[in-house]
Amino acid sequence: MSTLVRRKLIRSNLYTSFNQSPQEVKIIKQKTFLLPQKVDDKLTIVFDLDETLIHTHVTSQNLSDDLITIEFQGKQYFVSVRPGARELLKSLAGKYELILFTASTEGYATQIINNLERDGQIFDYKLYCHNCKEKFGQLFKDVHKLGRDLDRVLIFDDSTIVWTTSENLFVCK
Task: DSSP for 20-63, please give it.
Answer: S-HHHHHHHHHHH-SSPPP-S-PPEEEE--BTTTEEEESS-TT-
Catalytic amino acids? 48, 50
Angle at the Cα of 95 from the Cα atoms of 90 and 101, rounded to 5 degrees: 65
CB atoms within 10 A of CB 171: 12
The amino acid that residue 69 corresponds to is T
Residue closest to 123 by CA, chosen among 77, 81, 88: 88
